[in-house]
Structure 1
Amino acid sequence: MDLANIPVLSLSADRADLPARLGETFRTYGFAMIRDHGIDQALIDRAWDLTKRFFALPDETKRAYFLAGKGGARGYTPFRTEVAKGATEKDLKEFWHVGRDLPEGSPLAATMPPNVWPGEIEGFEETFKQLYARFDAVGAEILSAIAVHLGLDARWFDPAIDDGNSVLRLLHYPPVGEGAGGAIRAGAHEDINLITLLLGAEEAGLELLDKNGEWLSVAPPPGAMVINIGDMLQRLTNHVLPSTTHRVRNPSGERARYSRYSMPFFLHLRSDFRFATLPQCIDAQHPDRYPVSITADDYLQERLREIGLKS
């Protein structure tokens, strides 16, 4: 398996040329790697510990936090529930979702349910509220650099993501047993959202599909964050910034006996944001692929049905 030659950029040291360098790696791979992101390592370490403690709870305890009919928006989603779009085998994973706490009386409350928190794990709510806020801030910085790269005002995305429907997912891929059949930890898919910020990709398994149809391994150095373009940003930019297919492959040999954990933050638009393709991404050779405007929530609900989280 060849390694994707993705440069590791510094969010602090590379600030002046970050828009150009991020734009180049996103246009090439749909992925980037960022170090010096500013999220405190002690907070990250505490989050990993609490994640492992939650998933070690008995199955019936975890299932008490499964909210039927909510599309996995908050709380717990059981093992082998989600399926990659177009796939038949369900993924070998379970996960927990933390969303945004909206101000009272928010008009977005109908599309963004309140959080639930496991009472069995002390410090869980406090830790993940802090981590969510830090991911939110780093994501806004990345989008600012993307905006400059696209020729937009640096703060163009700010109102589009204000009270956005972003989700922090705590992921557990259990050891791979003999009953896996044709299923893998996460089938080939593209993310729904604007951008995804991922911690935990140091454990082997994450792969992207390059423009030549070859799978490449994504291996960030310790402490670095992997960022990838989602379908919403691909749509907004008329595919100038591609949403790259990726997967999490099953481990082989000794590593198959171990769990894998990761923490993606899916940065979303406001639910009521209405898509209109950016004019600077349209020309005679690249006509608008999406002349019909829909809201971000319309798009999200359609995709949740496609991946089996809503019926």
Structure 2
Amino acid sequence: MSAIPSVDLKDFVSEDSKRKEKFIKEIGAAFEDIGFVALRGHFLSDELVEQLYSEIKKFFQLPQESKDRYEIEGIGGQRGYTSFGKEHAKGKKEGDLKEFWHFGQYVEDNPRLEAEYPDNVIVSELPNFNKVGEETYKMLEKTAKYVLRALALHLGLTETYFDDWIKNGNSILRPIHYPPIQEEPKNAVRAAAHGDINLITLLMGAHGKGLQVKNHQDQWVDAIAESDQLMINVGDMLSRLTNNKLKSTIHQVVNPPKELWGTSRYSIPFFMHPVSEMPLNCLEDCIDEEHPKGFEDITAGEYLNERLIELGLVKK
């Protein structure tokens, strides 16, 4: 029995009000308790998942000098390639044992945001890479929109509360490659303990041991999804907005046992961000005598910039 509760998005999108209510209750309870849920019934097809894994494996197998051409200076790693060991968790100086790629928003009908966001980077060696990345991005964004609609209802908001804030939001799809470990890591793991910055994260590829979540008893528990599930967790922005009613849970990706050091691991998180001007001020309904306001008012854009500085991706 997994320590992570499991839900089915088909319940929420069904015409059946009882099934919809069941989904809202289950995901609300999971996010108030451990901050993680395994979700099936999402909008990704098996074929699309297979295509994306195939494309990202081909990319990470390119010669290092080819990959380095896609590392764009001056944009804090928001698009394209970030090389091995560049990113570290907040408060850590050791770089994580990973390299990754970023696909960003495909802006519709908003010239201001089109100018604000960096362009997506086209990989010339792989003709299908960007097409498959864009399709996956859009299906994960659609899945996230319905999850946030359920959470809005759980919080007593209108169902579409988040819709306008996330349309053309600063969301990121991040295929990650954790290469084989060549030597005893000095105080470094594949991804050190951290909380995510964004509203919610949808993770593809948590289908084996590695991802761990810290529960309320301060114990690390394995988060393992079935092959048809996405692992979804609350990020710090949603935690701030709800005055910590919905929990942003600390998680990590630990190194495998020594006999598996020679193997690569791939995972693909989708970080759902709103537009920069979304206020993250604590919702009135989440503040009371027992739960006084715990966070200062801030916008999503200001908060993101603060955190990118802490992660070493943006210089002050």
Taking structure 1 as the reference length, what is the TM-score of the superposition?
Answer: 0.96
Stretches of 4+ aligned residues off by more than 4 angstroms: none
TM-superposed deviation, 1:104 = 6.6
SS at match of 2:261: helix
Summarize the alignment of residues 1-311 of structure 1 with structure 2, pairs less than 5 Å apart: 5-13=3-11, 14-103=19-108, 106-109=111-114, 111-290=116-295, 292-311=296-315
Q: What's the secondary structure of 1:18's corresponding residue? A: helix
State the Cα distance separating 1:101 from its structure 2 match: 2.0
* Residues 3 and 222, structure 2, Cα contact 8 Å, conserved in 1: no
Residue identity in the other structure for 1:159:
D
Maintained 8 Å contact 1:203/1:260: no
Asked if the contact 1:29/1:244 (under 8 Å) is kept, the reply is: yes
Aligned positions, number: 308
Q: Provide Cα deviations, 1:36-56, integer angstroms capped at 9, x if missing partner.
A: 213111011000000100000
Deviates more, 1:78-87 or 1:271-280: 271-280
Q: CA deviation at 1:17?
A: 1.1
Letter in 1 for 2:241: L
The one-letter code matched in structure 2 to 1:6 is I
Q: Structure 2 regions of 5+ residues with no counterpart?
A: 12-18
Q: CA deviation at 1:179?
A: 4.8
Question: Is contact 1:196-1:266 (8 Å) kept?
Answer: yes
Equivalent residue of 1:43, what SS? helix
Q: CA deviation at 1:107?
A: 2.1
How far apart in 2 are the matches of 1:160 and 1:218?
A: 29
Deviation of 1:202 (Å): 0.3
TM-score normalized by structure 2?
0.94
Specify the code of the residue in structure 2 equivalent to 1:220: A
Secondary structure of the residue aligned to 2:173 is strand
Tell me the CA shift for residue 249 of structure 1.
Answer: 0.2
Cα distance in 2, alignment partners of residues 118 and 257 from structure 1: 27
Residue 174 of structure 2 aligns to a residue whose secondary structure is: strand
Q: Which amino acid aligns with 2:4?
A: I
Moved more, 253-262 or 166-175: 253-262
* Cα separation, partners in 2 of 1:282 and 1:105, compared to 1, 3 Å: closer
Aligned partners of 1:111 and 1:271 also within 8 Å: no
Taking only aligned residues, the RMSD between alpha carbons, in angstroms, comes to 1.4
- Structure 1 residue ranges without an equivalent (≥5): none
Deviation of 1:288 after TM superposition, in Å, equals 1.3
TM-aligned CA deviation for residue 122 of structure 1: 1.7
Q: CA deviation at 1:308?
A: 0.9
- Percentage identity across aligned positions? 42
